[in-house]
Amino acid sequence: MRKIDLRSDTFTLPTPEMMEAIASAELGDDVAREDPTVIRLEEMAARRFGREAGLLVPSGTAGNLVSVMTHCRHGDELYCEAEAHVYFYEVGGLSAVAGVLPRLIKGTRGVYSAEQLESTYRGRELHFPNPSLVCIENTHNRAGGTCWTPRQVEEVAASAHDRGMRVHIDGARIFNACVALDVEPRDYARHVDSITFCLSKGLSCPVGSVIVGDREFIERARKNRKIIGGGMRQAGIIAAPGIVALERMVGRLKDDHDNARLLAKGLAAQGLSIDMATVQTNIVVADTSPAKAADYIARAKRNGILCSSFGRNLVRFVTHHGITEADIREALDRLGT
Ligand SMILES: Cc1ncc(COP(=O)(O)O)c(C=O)c1O
């Protein structure tokens, strides 16, 4: 039986055009800043976000970690949403490597307000860690791929800046937010100090993420990238498909969003509980109660449908470049049997 893989957009494979770009990429040693393809990707990303500079990193996790290390000193405090990826899924790198203490804000569908930030903020006081960074996750993975609007980012960022903190966006899927809300990356980037976005999720590249920010920040981030072992030599083979992705793969994300909505409606009709307001991009989180997520996933797998656990009774489905509308209809048929 043909498998329909809805576990994650990280399972996407590079397009034939990306493979060609890899084969023909002009290469050099990027640690010595001599890889022209990496330089081209970083400049392209910076332009797209309206910022001065970009830095290629191996993964979204590396992008967040390097950004946190660059914004914060050991012992500082970082504010983020209670189920933010940087806190929930990055192996505690925040504390283990960056030496930062997270302070959590419970958002609504992944988004928190400036007022919430202000009421959680403890101030600068002898007994407290130094508050130095606010993180925003857009789109928010565990909330179901939900989007922050540029206005929401602007308000939280203004409040953070008023308190002397910097602002980082974990924009692993920020292009999904841009397509869903019909806004430009720069509409977010102008309010914040750094953004990480992933090439390797919905944009279908095999590897890589990019941090963008001002030149001085990116130069310091470059050193931290080296500390964590993320300085890569002929990294043009990673950057080349990234260039293809930025040129060709952003607009099509709308198809993934349409497919996610189709899937969500079908799953709801089969009795799963879904907060449809969260189905804004390419992620669907469904409550399988009273069935356990593990049992639902095992049954789906027996029918050739792959999805992943998001908690005891929560299952996540992600649409992506490898999934067509026909796949969604077939997945619904098989899941409904
Ligand atoms: C919101 C978010 N941030 C960061 C990451 C980390 O990206 P990577 O898997 O490339 O380390 C992910 C991965 O799924 C994510 O969903």
> From the CB of 331, is ligand 1 less than 6 Å away?
no
Residue 116's pLDDT is 98
Residue 225's pLDDT is 98
| Same domain, yes or no: 269 and 290 | yes
Ligand 1 center to 41 CA (angstroms): 20
Percent pLDDT > 70 in the chain is 100
Residue 76's pLDDT is 98
Residue 47 maps to which CATH number? 3.40.640.10
> From the CB of 170, is ligand 1 less than 6 Å away?
yes
- What would the pLDDT profile of 161-173 be if each residue is shown by its tens digit? 999 999 999 999 9
Band (pLDDT 50/70/90 cuts) for residue 310 is very high
Residue 2's pLDDT is 95
Ligand 1 center to 67 CA (angstroms): 14
| Same domain, yes or no: 300 and 187 | no
Closest by CA to 166, choosing from 179, 157, 175, is: 157
| Same domain, yes or no: 49 and 181 | yes
Residue 168's pLDDT is 99
Q: Which residues of 294-307 are buried (b: 16+ CB within 10 A; e: fewer)?
A: eebbeebeeeebbb
Q: Which atom number of ligand 1 is nearest to the Cα of residue 62?
A: 11
Average confidence (pLDDT) over 302-328: 98
Residue 321's pLDDT is 98
Ligand 1 center to 88 CA (angstroms): 11
Determine which residue's CA is closest to atom 6 belonging to ligand 1.
60
Residue 290 maps to which CATH number? 3.90.1150.10
| Same domain, yes or no: 316 and 213 | no
| Same domain, yes or no: 205 and 268 | no
Ligand 1 center to 275 CA (angstroms): 23
Contact predicate 52/60, CB 8 Å = no
Band (pLDDT 50/70/90 cuts) for residue 55 is very high
- What would the pLDDT profile of 94-109 be if each residue is shown by its tens digit? 999 999 999 999 999 9
Ligand 1 center to 198 CA (angstroms): 8
The model's pTM: 0.98
Residue 337's pLDDT is 81
> From the CB of 281, is ligand 1 less than 6 Å away?
no
Q: Which atom number of ligand 1 is nearest to the Cα of residue 84?
A: 1
- What would the pLDDT profile of 180-196 be if each residue is shown by its tens digit? 999 999 999 999 999 99
Query: Beta strand 131-137 with 194-198: parallel, antiparallel or unpaired?
Result: unpaired
> From the CB of 196, is ligand 1 less than 6 Å away?
no
Name 293's Cβ contacts closer than 8 Å, sequence gap at least 6: 309, 310, 311, 312, 313, 314, 315
Band (pLDDT 50/70/90 cuts) for residue 58 is very high
Band (pLDDT 50/70/90 cuts) for residue 135 is very high
Q: Which of 199, 214, 248 is the last residue of a domain?
A: 248
Ligand 1 center to 137 CA (angstroms): 10
Q: Which of 221, 248, 275 is the last residue of a domain?
A: 248
Q: What is the overall mean pLDDT for the chain?
A: 98
Residue 19's pLDDT is 98
Average confidence (pLDDT) over 47-75: 98
> From the CB of 132, is ligand 1 less than 6 Å away?
no
| Same domain, yes or no: 233 and 260 | no
Ligand 1 center to 86 CA (angstroms): 8
> From the CB of 59, is ligand 1 less than 6 Å away?
yes
| Same domain, yes or no: 224 and 271 | no
Average confidence (pLDDT) over 115-137: 97
| Same domain, yes or no: 74 and 205 | yes
Residue 303's domain spans which residues?
A: 4-11+252-336
> From the CB of 198, is ligand 1 less than 6 Å away?
yes
Query: Beta strand 209-213 with 53-57: parallel, antiparallel or unpaired?
Result: antiparallel
> From the CB of 61, is ligand 1 less than 6 Å away?
yes
Average confidence (pLDDT) over 309-334: 98
Domains: count for the chain: 2
Q: Which atom number of ligand 1 is nearest to the Cα of residue 8?
A: 14
Q: How far is CA 294 from each of CA 6, 124, 157, 301, rounded to the nearest angstrom?
A: 15, 45, 39, 10
pLDDT(81) > 90: yes
Q: Which of 220, 248, 276 is the last residue of a domain?
A: 248
Residue 314's pLDDT is 98
| Same domain, yes or no: 194 and 283 | no
Band (pLDDT 50/70/90 cuts) for residue 30 is very high
| Same domain, yes or no: 155 and 228 | yes
pLDDT(284) > 90: yes
| Same domain, yes or no: 26 and 167 | yes
| Same domain, yes or no: 210 and 311 | no
Residue 237's pLDDT is 98
Ligand 1 center to 6 CA (angstroms): 16
